[in-house]
């Protein structure tokens, strides 16, 4: 069986393809480069947070702190943005790593349940964000290249002239997608490739899955359980920090009260991607598909309202997302029962 996409993972990719085909058939401009790139740009933050959550859930844990860690990191990177792109990025990811190591410490050293440990870190990060930002949003410096982390396109500088021309054709459109690919989406893509290598090709990935399958057994086998669990929370914190940097750069401000509910959205994406919440199994790219699937529901609702047949308020998106999650978990429970683990 293919390790990258197995079982429920194939299902989510098929569902994603079906949703895209439906959108392309029903709405003008749904598969236009502009729309595709907008969706990717906006959802890259959630993709990063979902990746970290995927690692944590595979160890059998959970990380409730990702949303407020992203908020805290957006504030820190906004403060550092006058010193340049690198300062903002390093500072934002740095505070994320600090928060992640705090979670890891409380869980592995103080032996608290991940749920309660990361709940505390969530409160602490939220308090720190508000304290640093003085309860306001912190504007980002427009003088440095920091904003390009959210709003720029990494390869835009190399784009040949003819691509935007009228007679560029299919090749032009494909290359256009490449050269107009948003910087935050590049960051997410690279993170997912690294994450996939970590999980599938390195001992760390084996350890993560072994611990999720049975922590006590892994410990007895001599696996470095504490170190692996600690690293999983460190990764989650760092990626949440990176999402916070993108948040600040994309919207031009560090936002101390953003990120509410991100953790549960990320958990939903991971579950829709077929990763078991009991740990021990998981797929990196199916998580990405889960993020895009839940994100596309929002886009589809927007387009549906544009068609004008029915008018659904934005509030419907959470109902639809919840219903979607419901279908997925019921199907999963049916599958799990047929094939006893």
Partner 1 sequence: MSVGVESPLAPAPGRGKLTGPGIGQGGARAATILRRFGSLIALAALILLNLALTPHFATMQTLSVNLTQICTIVIVGVGMTLVIATGGIDLSVGSLMAIAGALAPGFFTGALFHGTNLYVNIALSIIVPVGVAGLFGLFNGWLVSHFRIQPIIATLVLFIAGRGIAQVWTNGDLQVFKMPEFQAIALGHVLGVPFQVWIMLALVVVSAWILRRTVFGRQILAVGGNEPAARLAGVPVSRVKRLVYVASGLCSGIAGLIVIAMNSAADANLIGMGMELDAIAAVAVGGTLLSGGRATIVGTLIGAMIIQLVRYTLLANGVPDSAALIAKAVLIVFAVWLQRQERA
Tell me which residues touch partner 1 (CB under 8 A).
Answer: 60-62, 64, 106, 110-117, 119-124, 126-131, 135, 215-216, 260, 264-265, 267-268, 271, 277-279, 313, 315-323, 325-326, 329-330, 333-334, 336-337
SS3 of residue 25 by DSSP:
helix
* Token couple for 37: 């790139």
Instruction: Report the DSSP beta bridge partners of residue 254.
Output: 138
Q: How far is the CB of 157 from partner 1 (least distance, A)?
A: 40
Cβ 73 vs Cβ 245: under 8 Å: yes
Nearest Cα to Cα of residue 13 among 278, 282, 300, 274 = 274
Q: How far is the CB of 99 from partner 1 (least distance, A)?
A: 11
Pick the closer one to partner 1 by CB: 36 or 112.
112
Cβ 69 vs Cβ 96: under 8 Å: yes
* Token couple for 276: 């078991």
Q: How many residues does the chain have?
A: 341
Q: How far is the CB of 143 from partner 1 (least distance, A)?
A: 29
Cβ 290 vs Cβ 271: under 8 Å: yes
Pick the closer one to partner 1 by CB: 116 or 307.
116
Pick the closer one to partner 1 by CB: 13 or 129.
129
Q: How far is the CB of 246 from partner 1 (least distance, A)?
A: 23
Pick the closer one to partner 1 by CB: 165 or 322.
322
Residue with tokens 């990935």: 205
Q: How far is the CB of 117 from partner 1 (least distance, A)?
A: 7
Residue with tokens 């659904």: 312
The CA distance from 11 to 324, in Å, is 13
Q: How far is the CB of 123 from partner 1 (least distance, A)?
A: 4
Pick the closer one to partner 1 by CB: 122 or 231.
122
Cβ 195 vs Cβ 70: under 8 Å: no
Pick the closer one to partner 1 by CB: 242 or 267.
267
* Token couple for 68: 């407020």
Q: How far is the CB of 16 from partner 1 (least distance, A)?
A: 19
Pick the closer one to partner 1 by CB: 12 or 64.
64
Rg over CA atoms, the chain:
20
């Amino acid at each position: 069986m293919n390790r990258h996409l197995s079982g429920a993972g194939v299902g989510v990719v098929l569902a994603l393809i079906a949703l895209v085909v439906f959108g392309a058939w029903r709405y003008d401009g749904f598969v236009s480069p502009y729309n595709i790139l907008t969706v990717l740009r906006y959802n890259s933050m959630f993709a990063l947070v979902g990746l970290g959550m995927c690692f944590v859930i595979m160890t059998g844990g959970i990380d409730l702190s990702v949303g407020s860690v992203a908020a805290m990191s957006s504030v820190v990177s906004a403060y550092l943005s006058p010193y340049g792109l690198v300062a903002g990025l390093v500072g934002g990811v740095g505070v994320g790593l600090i928060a992640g190591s705090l979670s890891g410490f409380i869980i592995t050293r103080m032996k608290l349940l991940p749920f309660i440990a990361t709940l505390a870190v969530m409160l602490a990060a939220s308090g720190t964000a508000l304290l640093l930002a003085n309860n306001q949003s912190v504007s980002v410096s427009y003088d440095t290249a920091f904003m390009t982390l959210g709003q720029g396109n990494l390869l835009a500088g190399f784009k040949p002239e003819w691509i935007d021309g009228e007679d560029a054709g299919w090749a032009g459109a494909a290359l256009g997608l490449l050269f107009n690919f948003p910087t935050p989406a590049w960051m997410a893509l690279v993170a997912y490739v690294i994450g996939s290598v970590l999980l599938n090709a390195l001992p760390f990935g084996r350890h993560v899955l072994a611990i999720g399958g049975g922590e006590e057994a892994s410990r007895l086998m001599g696996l470095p359980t504490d170190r692996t669990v600690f690293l999983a929370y460190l990764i989650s914190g760092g990626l949440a920090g990176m999402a916070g940097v993108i948040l600040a750069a994309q919207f031009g401000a560090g936002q101390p009260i953003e990120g509410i509910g991100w953790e549960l959205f990320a958990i939903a994406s991971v579950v829709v991607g077929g990763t078991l919440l009991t740990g021990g199994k998981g797929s990196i790219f199916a998580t990405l598909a889960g993020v895009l699937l839940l994100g596309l529901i929002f886009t589809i609702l927007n387009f549906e309202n544009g068609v004008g047949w029915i008018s659904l308020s934005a509030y419907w998106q959470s109902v639809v997302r919840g219903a979607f999650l419901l279908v997925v978990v019921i199907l999963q429970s049916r599958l799990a029962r047929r094939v006893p683990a």
